[in-house]
Amino acid sequence: MTSMQEVLEIQRKSYLNEGFVPAEVRIDRLQRAISLLQDHGSRLIEAMAEDFGHRSHHQSRSTDINGSIAPLKHAVKHVRSWMKTERRPLQFPLRLLGGRAEVRYQPVGVVGCISPWNFPVNLTFTPLAGILAAGNRAMIKPSELTPLTSELMKDLIEEAFAQEEIAVFTGGPEVGAEFSGLPFDHLLFTGATSIGRIIMKAAAENLVPVTLELGGKSPVIVSGSADMALTADNVMSGKTMNAGQICLAPDYAMLPETRLDEFVDAARAAVTRMYPTLKDNPDYTTIISDRHYDRLRAYLDDARAKGAEIVELNPAGEDFSQQQHRRIPPTLILDPTDDMTVMQDEIFGPILPIRRYQRIDEPISYINAHPRPLGLYYFGEDTNERERVLTHTTSGGVTLNDVIMHVAMEDLPFGGIGASGMGAYHGFDGFRQFSHARSIYTQSRRISKIMARMRPPYSRQ
């Protein structure tokens, strides 16, 4: 078997031999990725369901298959215009004297991509849209927590692509550690903030530039002016999709204290509408592993022990103590305190802690006193208040009057800030993230002659 280091060398050599990568070649690679997903989507959906225990097929089709095809198609449509050389202005009067400035977007070379388990196909193929559109080669290390999906992606990619175009390496943290130590031209990591720190250290050894797509606690601020039924529908839909195992899931909510009961009732109604039963409901996804299941149950036990009110949204009153898979009913934690573990870690499951506030500055201060989140959500119609929230907080991105949706907009950069990550991709921003913006200045004879008069010996002037 060829080692990772050898594959990197093969890819780099092939990239160097290729030189300029024409649009047709980039489009052909993107199209092959699209065909792979179109032809084998159902097999990938089956594999994800088995890896999770149970995962809604409908959801997998939408988030991982169609959700990956869309950015790849977007890249096919726009890559010719993204690739265009950009003329840039020059300081007066250099242009008039024949100078010329331009930026050419070059492939960086070989991009390493480490992906997580929660959207295993999406978070492998969506980056490929930008990586391939930019004319690069890719080496991928998918997650060990979705072994069937990762192996299947490896087989399918090996069928559709030559090793010097894209190569996949499966395995756990040891393989990830070796992978992240390779001298790539760029390394994209999607995963936990704690692992992001390790990745950045490993990349620093070779001065490999990184894009870190990490997690965190994305807050929801519900305004006094919000439509509560709509708010609860959208928040609970985001909290229950993939059983809340989403980097952008609304992590916790902050509500005006006078409207808390209204939200709890509306959340119960929303969950009852979406999931009249939960235990064997094919639409409700399971928790990925025993470790994560135990972690989530421990948050609930800890919060209960420390005095929070726990509201389980279990419409059919089912008993979850004995079950085939690892399902946790959507659960609200009212009035959590900061000493509870659920307010310290990224939850990554169907649990929603809810804090109360009296004035809008309280949630703003709370957010600013914690690591910068990946997403921030505001529900309400008060434009002044909304602007106050937007101008007085920072997060990777924002969705107003819904959750998560900004990630699905092809022309919005997606990424974090601070502890939630660095760098961004998707659409044109992805193309640029994986390209080298090379500055080229062309000197003119006239300017050269003028400059010659300004050269030493200065005593002459």
* Residues recognised as catalytic: 213, 247
| Nearest distance from C-beta of residue 292 to ligand NAD, angstroms | 8
Place of tokens 């003119």: 444
The strand pairing partners of 415, in sequence order, are 424
Stretch near ligand NAD under the rule CB under 6 A, chosen from 12-20, 170-178, 220-228, 447-455 = 170-178
Strand order in the sheet with 250-256: 309-312, 331-334, 351-357, 250-256, 218-222, 375-379, 397-400
Which C-beta is closer to ligand NAD: that of 15 or that of 377?
Answer: 377
Distance between CA atoms of residues 274 and 299, nearest Å: 24
Q: Which of 40, 137, 141, 327 binds ligand NAD (CB under 6 A)?
A: 141
If one asks whether residue 180 binds ligand NAD (CB under 6 A), the answer comes out as: yes
| Nearest distance from C-beta of residue 351 to ligand NAD, angstroms | 15
| Nearest distance from C-beta of residue 347 to ligand NAD, angstroms | 10
Helix 67-83, helix 23-52: angle, nearest 10: 160
Query: Smallest Cα–Cα separation from 10: which of 182, 154, 147, 151?
Result: 182
If one asks whether residue 118 binds ligand NAD (CB under 6 A), the answer comes out as: yes
Which C-beta is closer to ligand NAD: that of 105 or that of 434?
Answer: 434
| Nearest distance from C-beta of residue 350 to ligand NAD, angstroms | 15
| Nearest distance from C-beta of residue 91 to ligand NAD, angstroms | 40
Structure tokens at 425: 């991709």
Specify burial of residue 120 (Cβ count, 10 A radius: 0-12, 13-18, 19+): buried
Which C-beta is closer to ligand NAD: that of 250 or that of 421?
Answer: 421
| Nearest distance from C-beta of residue 306 to ligand NAD, angstroms | 24
Q: Which of 22, 98, 172, 276 binds ligand NAD (CB under 6 A)?
A: 172
Stretch near ligand NAD under the rule CB under 6 A, chosen from 19-27, 54-62, 176-184, 299-307 = 176-184
Give a three-class secondary structure readout of 159-204.
Answer: HHCCCCCEEECCCCHHHHHHHHCCCCCEEEEECCHHHHHHHHHHHH
Which C-beta is closer to ligand NAD: that of 153 or that of 267?
Answer: 153
Which C-beta is closer to ligand NAD: that of 144 or that of 385?
Answer: 144
* Through-space distance between the first and last CA atoms of the chain, rounded to whole angstroms: 68
Which C-beta is closer to ligand NAD: that of 122 or that of 231?
Answer: 122
Distance between CA atoms of residues 203 and 199, nearest Å: 6
Stretch near ligand NAD under the rule CB under 6 A, chosen from 29-37, 172-180, 252-260, 382-390 = 172-180
| Nearest distance from C-beta of residue 145 to ligand NAD, angstroms | 6
Which C-beta is closer to ligand NAD: that of 331 or that of 395?
Answer: 395
If one asks whether residue 239 binds ligand NAD (CB under 6 A), the answer comes out as: no
Structure tokens at 384: 């002044």
Place of tokens 């990424």: 415
If one asks whether residue 192 binds ligand NAD (CB under 6 A), the answer comes out as: yes
Looking at residues 312 to 351 of the shown chain, list those that interact with ligand NAD (rule: CB under 6 A).
Answer: 346, 348
Strands (E), 68-144: 86-88, 100-107, 110-114, 137-141
| Nearest distance from C-beta of residue 179 to ligand NAD, angstroms | 6
> Phi and psi (nearest 5°) for 54?
-145, 135
Q: How many residues bind ligand NAD (CB under 6 A)?
A: 29
If one asks whether residue 398 binds ligand NAD (CB under 6 A), the answer comes out as: no
Which C-beta is closer to ligand NAD: that of 135 or that of 181?
Answer: 181
Distance between CA atoms of residues 425 and 211, nearest Å: 9
Place of tokens 């992606």: 153
414, containing H or E segment:
strand 414-415
Which C-beta is closer to ligand NAD: that of 248 or that of 278?
Answer: 248
Structure tokens at 443: 């000197």
Looking at residues 194 to 223 of the shown chain, list those that interact with ligand NAD (rule: CB under 6 A).
Answer: 195, 198-199, 213-215
If one asks whether residue 114 binds ligand NAD (CB under 6 A), the answer comes out as: yes
Structure tokens at 275: 């999931």
Q: Convert residues 418-437 into a mask of x (bound to ligand NAD by CB under 6 A) and - (unbound).
A: ---x----------------
Strands (E), 63-107: 86-88, 100-107
Residue 4: partners with Cβ closer than 8 Å, 6 or more residues away: 139, 169, 178, 179, 182
Chain contacts with ligand NAD (rule: CB under 6 A): 114-118, 123, 141, 143-144, 172-173, 176-177, 180, 190-192, 195, 198-199, 213-215, 247, 346, 348, 374, 416, 421
